[in-house]
Amino acid sequence: MGIVVQKYGGSSVADADGIKRVAQRIVATKKSGKDVVVVVSAMGDHTDELRDLAQQVSPLPPPRELDMLLTAGERISMALVAMAIANLGQAARSFTGSQAGVITDSVHGRAKIIDITPGRIQRAIDEGHIAIVAGFQGVSQDTKDITTLGRGASDTTAVALAAALEAEVCEIYSDVDGVFTADPRIVPTARKLEQVSAEVMLEMAASGAKILHLRCVEYARRYNIPIHVRSSFSQKQGTWIVPEAKVGSMEQAIIAGVAHDRSEAKITVVAVPDKVGEAARIFETLADAQINLDMIVQNVSAAATNLTDISFTLPREDGQSAMAALARIKDGVGYDSLLYDDQIGKVSLIGAGMRSHPGITARFFAALASAGVNIEMISTSEIRISVIVDEADVDEAVAATHTAFELDSHEVEAVVYGGTGR
Amino acid sequence: MGIVVQKYGGSSVADADGIKRVAQRIVATKKSGKDVVVVVSAMGDHTDELRDLAQQVSPLPPPRELDMLLTAGERISMALVAMAIANLGQAARSFTGSQAGVITDSVHGRAKIIDITPGRIQRAIDEGHIAIVAGFQGVSQDTKDITTLGRGASDTTAVALAAALEAEVCEIYSDVDGVFTADPRIVPTARKLEQVSAEVMLEMAASGAKILHLRCVEYARRYNIPIHVRSSFSQKQGTWIVPEAKVGSMEQAIIAGVAHDRSEAKITVVAVPDKVGEAARIFETLADAQINLDMIVQNVSAAATNLTDISFTLPREDGQSAMAALARIKDGVGYDSLLYDDQIGKVSLIGAGMRSHPGITARFFAALASAGVNIEMISTSEIRISVIVDEADVDEAVAATHTAFELDSHEVEAVVYGGTGR
């Protein structure tokens, strides 16, 4: 009997009615003949409410204690989901991250999953129970302390469990219908993708598409777990994220979609002496401060020819600590000054078909130029082109790009997604 | 260095301000040179709110899941207390019941502590940390499931931990100043006891004094742990509960106080055939239904001479299941009918001095008679006399008894509590 892992986000379990609705869907899946493992987030905005409570008590809460606090949210939602399922006549048992065997490192607030030892979950399934697992949390291998995996990481819990249990599919439920060619709030003509490769989805997630957590997609790709992203508010099919090998080349879209991201800031280190090792020193300093950089550009400085300017983007929330870390090495590196800009946005064009289609970049830039959008930085991969623009230009850039690549026309849909059985 | 265990109830940690106030008291104790272990309840009425949430989802939630849900409350409060302490510059670590080594049986909702294995707590103390422990919860020895110890059982967690850690004292903080000779809301002239023996306190708790959980006092008596009951809202000394051997006989009050209880109901099994084994059958049935009886009275029935009426009191919340259990054995036992009365109250006079003072009972009943209070049932122990009266008469019965035994006069206080150093 196959195992289905279902993950329900906070909006799906926001109140008692939502929990009962979710329970019905879970029970229906069980009755269809599947073993079901459910991963839940905290109810609605409960995690943020707990975070606020922590702020009222302490401006800088100890990370271990913050994790202890925040994990209470899933404990509540999972117990309630298990109760609602029991009400429908099915046996359900809830498990904390620790009980479910989600073993992590000890980095509180953004712990990484090291291993999953799902013995108790497997036993619950074998006994005919539905297992309900707290998302977002685990237990550290070294200290046995409770850890959290970072914002949005319940998706990762779900896929990691699906991999450990060798599940058929990991269904990710939220309040949206699937993955779209662009954010429908910006591009009303954006369409739902029926199928997308894990590789492309990975670039979309990394480029700001919030539908799935980045690490979740990485996990799915590594362990070949198909993900079905769908809404808990309807019975509609959502978007399937499948290993690339299963997406036929005829069905592979040239362009899968346009993603955008307003969560980054840009730092420029001005007039760095152009000597071997100076850039390395800057990036080592940032790495020591646990800061993940995104795009990096180095240019000859306007100040003098033997100097260079180094610009990079990073999460805005890390802006302050990055600036502080760089300020400390100013004399050692001998740069002139630091610039900080958090009024930027990133617009990315993504598609596995790009590889074999020259001219995509030119068409992208032409679309932005026509829309009067100025490009500040550029970064490319095999299947993605990203540009940094003024934050105020993001909507227009996304819409213009979406139109330029004919993502909103019906014909393109037929070509791109024609292979999914219609 | 001595260990102090402090327990803070929900009213003491009801909001961020309360948590900060409690943190200051904890840090002050630590700075006075003690090792400190803190047991916390959930914030304010949070446990009841979680219970309500469960009711919205399920009329009869599975006990395992209800325990999982309810234990979220202490997880939140303990993490916040640890944060507030860290803010004051002291290291604190919070521990769930399971992490603290509170091992219980598997009776969800009212699990009993089997053992305490406080290795992690001891290590935290040894490293100079303040340990914050979730009250009310443990982990079952057999199933490794999360359990709760029943309403008000955080007191028990605190005393059990104090015993396991061989603490000097267990301080129980709430919003009242200590143990009084009667409920001050009923008897405004009631006075705070400075010292009371564990034996007497046990009878007071069993008789409805809500200041301390019954099992907590049992634990303290068994393991000789002194308890100091006091308010977290003032610096005043509260009431010390000490082993009887430490209360000098000169200081032992004849009467410690008057307790009352409105939480019971009375069931009468009418016209039971007066044969060997019939009563046993009734009480076996109730025991099988996990119902704790309090007072039991057997009388000749008014119906016929070879029949008896059996009356007993029990917690009101168990009334329905007790009636149902008894109804099932009606034909087997051959009784006539069942009567149920939940409009009763129990008034108890308690004091170790009673043993050697004849006439206490007569004085008690005379006081009730003068106040026009009718006695429905009577039960006595070496150090307690309890009567069941009409619930509407409880206040008057308590006040009349309190006055009859001169508990509100200053002279009595001097005699009774003269030995505590004043």
Q: What is the CATH number of the domain that holds B56?
A: 3.40.1160.10
In this prediction, residue A355 carries a pLDDT of 75
What does the radius of gyration of chain A's CA atoms come to, in whole angstroms? Answer: 23
Res B358 pLDDT > 50: yes
Nearest CB neighbour to A58, from listed B57, B58, B86: B86
Nearest CB neighbour to A57, from listed B61, B71, B80: B80
Q: What is the mean pLDDT of residues A85-108?
A: 96
Instruction: Tell me how far apart the alpha carbons of residues A191 and B297 are, in angstroms, rounded to a whole number.
Output: 77
Q: What is the mean pLDDT of residues B409-413?
A: 46
Inter-chain touch B56–A84, beta carbons under 8 Å: no
The verdict on A167 and A268 lying in the same domain is no
Q: What is the mean pLDDT of residues B292-297?
A: 88
Inter-chain touch B58–A99, beta carbons under 8 Å: no
All residues of chain B having their beta carbon less than 8 Å from the beta carbon of residue A86 are: 58, 61-62, 65
User: What are the pLDDT digits (tens) for A218-272?
Assistant: 999 999 999 999 999 999 999 999 987 676 655 556 788 999 999 999 999 999 9
Instruction: Tell me how far apart the alpha carbons of residues A294 and A314 are, in angstroms, rounded to a whole number.
Output: 6
User: What are the pLDDT digits (tens) for B226-269?
Assistant: 999 999 999 999 999 998 767 665 556 678 999 999 999 999 99
* Number of domains chain B contains: 2
Q: In 3D, which of B6, B4, B23 has the Cα closest to residue B174?
A: B6
Percent of chain B with pLDDT over 90: 72
What is the residue range of B96's domain?
3-175
Nearest CB neighbour to A94, from listed B20, B65, B94: B65
Nearest CB neighbour to B83, from listed A57, A82, A96: A57
The verdict on B170 and B276 lying in the same domain is no
Res B356 pLDDT > 80: no
The verdict on A161 and A269 lying in the same domain is no
B324 Cα to chain A: minimum distance (Å) = 23
In this prediction, residue B416 carries a pLDDT of 33
Encoded tokens for B266 = 């009375």
The region of weakest confidence among A39-48, A119-128, A378-387, B55-64 is: A378-387
Instruction: Tell me how far apart the alpha carbons of residues A322 and A313 are, in angstroms, rounded to a whole number.
Output: 11
Inter-chain touch B68–A94, beta carbons under 8 Å: yes
Q: In 3D, which of A190, A231, A235, A197 has the Cα closest to residue A211?
A: A231
Q: What is the mean pLDDT of residues B72-94?
A: 97
In this prediction, residue B251 carries a pLDDT of 55
In this prediction, residue B413 carries a pLDDT of 40
Q: What is the mean pLDDT of residues A89-107?
A: 96
Does residue A150 lie in a domain region? yes
Task: Please enumerate in sequence order all residues whose Cβ is within 8 A of that of A161, keeping only pairs 6 or more positions apart, or say none.
Answer: A5, A37, A39, A100, A102, A116, A118, A121, A133, A167
Does residue B195 lie in a domain region? no
Confidence of residue B8 (pLDDT cuts 50, 70, 90): very high
User: What are the pLDDT digits (tens) for B328-352?
Assistant: 999 999 999 999 999 999 999 998 8
B50 Cα to chain A: minimum distance (Å) = 8
Q: Searching chain B, which residue's CA lies closest to the CA of residue A72?
A: B72
Nearest CB neighbour to B76, from listed A64, A69, A99: A69
Does residue B110 lie in a domain region? yes
Does residue A270 lie in a domain region? yes
Confidence of residue A104 (pLDDT cuts 50, 70, 90): very high
Inter-chain touch A19–B68, beta carbons under 8 Å: no
Task: Please enumerate in sequence order all residues whose Cβ is within 8 A of that of B7, keeping only pairs 6 or more positions apart, or say none.
Answer: B38, B39, B40, B41, B135, B154, B155, B157, B158, B170, B171, B172, B173
Q: In 3D, which of B309, B247, B302, B249 has the Cα closest to residue B273?
A: B309
Residue that finishes a domain, picked among A175, A206, A241? A175
- Paired sense of beta strands A264-273 and A307-315, if any: antiparallel
Q: Searching chain A, which residue's CA lies closest to the CA of residue B21?
A: A57
Nearest CB neighbour to B80, from listed A53, A82, A87: A53
Q: Which residues pair with A173 in a beta bridge?
A: A8, A230
In this prediction, residue A130 carries a pLDDT of 98
In this prediction, residue B414 carries a pLDDT of 33
Q: What is the mean pLDDT of residues B321-325?
A: 94
In this prediction, residue B402 carries a pLDDT of 94
Determine the Cα angle at A286 with ends A280 and A289, to 5°. 140
The verdict on A41 and A125 lying in the same domain is yes
0.90 surpassed by pTM: no
Q: Which residues of B touch A (CB under 8 A)?
A: 16, 19-20, 50, 53-54, 56-59, 61-62, 64-66, 68-69, 71-73, 75-76, 78-80, 82-84, 86-87, 92-94, 96, 99, 120, 144, 146
Instruction: Tell me how far apart the alpha carbons of residues B139 and B161 are, in angstroms, rounded to a whole number.
Output: 15
B287 Cα to chain A: minimum distance (Å) = 27
Q: What is the mean pLDDT of residues A379-383?
A: 86
Res A415 pLDDT > 50: no
Residue that finishes a domain, picked among B175, B191, B212? B175
The verdict on B60 and B155 lying in the same domain is yes
Encoded tokens for B18 = 């309360």
The answer, yes or no, to whether ipTM is higher than 0.90 is no
Q: What is the mean pLDDT of residues B285-301?
A: 86
Q: What is the mean pLDDT of residues A41-45?
A: 96
Q: Which residues of A touch B (CB under 8 A)?
A: 16, 19-20, 50, 53-54, 56-59, 61-62, 64-66, 68-69, 71-73, 75-76, 78-80, 82-84, 86-87, 92-94, 96, 99, 120, 144, 146
In this prediction, residue B411 carries a pLDDT of 40
B88 Cα to chain A: minimum distance (Å) = 10
Q: What is the mean pLDDT of residues B322-332?
A: 94
Instruction: Tell me how far apart the alpha carbons of residues A67 and A108 are, in angstroms, rounded to a whole number.
Output: 7
In this prediction, residue A251 carries a pLDDT of 55
The verdict on A308 and A394 lying in the same domain is yes
Confidence of residue A307 (pLDDT cuts 50, 70, 90): confident
A220 Cα to chain B: minimum distance (Å) = 30
Inter-chain touch B69–A62, beta carbons under 8 Å: no
Residue that finishes a domain, picked among B144, B175, B206? B175
B136 Cα to chain A: minimum distance (Å) = 15
Res A276 pLDDT > 80: no
Inter-chain touch B82–A75, beta carbons under 8 Å: no
Inter-chain touch A20–B66, beta carbons under 8 Å: no
Q: Searching chain B, which residue's CA lies closest to the CA of residue A62?
A: B83
Res A422 pLDDT > 50: no
Nearest CB neighbour to B94, from listed A68, A92, A96: A68
- Paired sense of beta strands A169-174 and A227-231, if any: parallel
- Round the average pLDDT of chain A to a whole number and report it: 90
Q: What is the mean pLDDT of residues B156-160?
A: 96
* Residue B400: C-alpha distances to residues A16, B211, B371, B372, B393 (Å): 49, 22, 7, 10, 11
Does residue A375 lie in a domain region? yes
The region of weakest confidence among A215-219, A239-243, B57-61, B271-275 is: B271-275
Q: Searching chain A, which residue's CA lies closest to the CA of residue B59?
A: A87
The verdict on A272 and A405 lying in the same domain is yes
Res A114 pLDDT > 80: yes
The verdict on B50 and B132 lying in the same domain is yes
The verdict on A260 and A404 lying in the same domain is yes
Confidence of residue B386 (pLDDT cuts 50, 70, 90): very high
Does residue A225 lie in a domain region? no
Report the CATH number that the domain containing residue B347 is assigned in CATH.
3.30.2130.10
In this prediction, residue B253 carries a pLDDT of 67
Q: Which of A43, A69, A83 to mutate to test the interface with B (most CBs of B within 10 A)?
A: A83
Q: Searching chain B, which residue's CA lies closest to the CA of residue A22?
A: B57
Inter-chain touch A76–B72, beta carbons under 8 Å: yes
The verdict on A140 and A48 lying in the same domain is yes
In this prediction, residue A399 carries a pLDDT of 95
Inter-chain touch B87–A58, beta carbons under 8 Å: yes
Q: Which amino acid is at A370?
A: S
- Round the average pLDDT of chain B to a whole number and report it: 90
Res B409 pLDDT > 80: no
All residues of chain B having their beta carbon less than 8 Å from the beta carbon of residue A56 are: 16
Does residue B184 lie in a domain region? no
User: What are the pLDDT digits (tens) for A161-174?
Assistant: 999 999 999 999 98
Res A155 pLDDT > 60: yes
* Residue A325: C-alpha distances to residues A61, A285, A392, B210 (Å): 21, 7, 29, 56
Confidence of residue B225 (pLDDT cuts 50, 70, 90): very high
User: What are the pLDDT digits (tens) for A4-29?
Assistant: 999 999 999 999 999 999 999 999 99
Q: Which amino acid is at B308?
A: T
The verdict on A169 and A253 lying in the same domain is no
User: What are the pLDDT digits (tens) for A279-301?
Assistant: 888 999 998 888 888 888 887 77
The verdict on B150 and B290 lying in the same domain is no
* Residue B233: C-alpha distances to residues A207, A375, B10, B130, B237 (Å): 53, 61, 13, 21, 12
Does residue A131 lie in a domain region? yes
All residues of chain A having their beta carbon less than 8 Å from the beta carbon of residue B64 are: 93
All residues of chain B having their beta carbon less than 8 Å from the beta carbon of residue A80 are: 53-54, 57, 65, 69
